[in-house]
Structure 1
């Protein structure tokens, strides 16, 4: 009975490993593909997580939201069989600045995670230089809803702890569409973009061998 069970578990791990490798490859393809336009049919975004999209419009800085505390992510990302990842500096804590963004090509406001600021710069009065005005064009990664982690309190209006897109959108009168701005969107005195953490590790080979 034990050898048969072990064989069955090994077969399951082989299939699981194949699925994981395909998932990693698909994610890497999306992440590295050239930016595309935000689709008019927003339901298409459900199949576009981590895809790059280009949008043009203007920020409404008067309705900023803050998620954190968070550490600054540095070092970009790396792709390989083990997955893609970002490293955390761990030396500073701060907040992600999420700002309503009214699109120039349609009557729609979305949410843009502009990036990270240190805790002492959370107050926008401390970073007026980075509060860009007028129409801007930026590239961001599509992110979907996030399940509330175990033992994590619910979000409140002052500080968000996780991505509840419907709740966040309702707070500022936007559509539940969320982009994480890339590092190239950073401006002097403003949030540091490129704060997307991607972590997919493939450990199934060790399980199969064991």
Structure 2
């Protein structure tokens, strides 16, 4: 009897834990979808002038219109996409009409175009403010000798290009005469895999419940036989 009680307690405790993890993933899925909806709504809003002091939280994804000059110099961020293959994001300094020097993510170039010359000069740009969270303890340090970065670290890139830590990612309209392919912000590139995780936990809960029932039934079946 004690063995049956022990198996029942362990079985119920494990079932509660697995169901709780599944329910938590369902909640996370709803939370993530809310974030994606906010991103989609902000990205397509009407562009405004660059705020005087953009806030990384309140102004993230805000569409802005820039008037000024694309300055010389660029940083290349190594990336690879399923559609485009390996290449680089091109991050350049941009000086606005009011004299602020910020960062602009011009978009994608193929690896073969790394040493090509890209146009600079006066421009009117439309893009979205962004402070990407792409760095962690495993991110390699930038190879500054070969101008290869492994993540968009806004603060570090701003220091390297002597600009403010403000990044604008251009939308889907390329600069005239530019071979750089814009990579606009959109929610499609942000995964929401919490439904898969929830199904996994609920499936494990079902398996755990079946195994618990089997181990509880087996001693009884042996006794009856």
**TM surpasses 0.5:** yes
Q: Secondary structure at 1:30's aligned position in 2?
A: helix
Gap runs ≥5 in structure 1: 74-86
Q: RMSD across aligned C-alpha pairs, in angstroms?
A: 2.5
Correspondence for 2:149:
160
Q: Secondary structure at 1:185's aligned position in 2?
A: coil
1:115 is the counterpart of 2:125: no
Select the structure of larger CA radius of gyration. 2
Paired positions, count: 185
Correspondence for 2:194:
203
* Contact preservation (8 Å) 1:109, 1:174: yes
1:55 is the counterpart of 2:97: no
Gap runs ≥5 in structure 2: 1-11, 204-225
Q: Taking structure 1 as reference, are residues 153 and 14 closer, same or farther at Cα in structure 2, changes over 3 Å only? A: closer
Q: Secondary structure at 1:47's aligned position in 2?
A: coil
Structure with higher helix content = 2
Superposition pairs for residues 172-187 of structure 1, below 5 Å? 172-187=161-176
Q: Secondary structure at 2:181's aligned position in 1?
A: coil
- Structure 1 length normalisation: TM-score? 0.75
Once the 2 structures are TM-superposed, how far is the Cα of residue 101 of structure 1 from its aligned partner? 0.2
- Structure 2 length normalisation: TM-score? 0.70
* Contact preservation (8 Å) 2:25, 2:194: no
* Contact preservation (8 Å) 1:138, 1:185: no
Once the 2 structures are TM-superposed, how far is the Cα of residue 37 of structure 1 from its aligned partner? 2.1
1:15-74 Cα deviation digits (max 9, x unpaired): 3232122122112211222222221122x232232332111110112x221111x34x6x
Q: Taking structure 1 as reference, are residues 200 and 60 closer, same or farther at Cα in structure 2, changes over 3 Å only? A: same
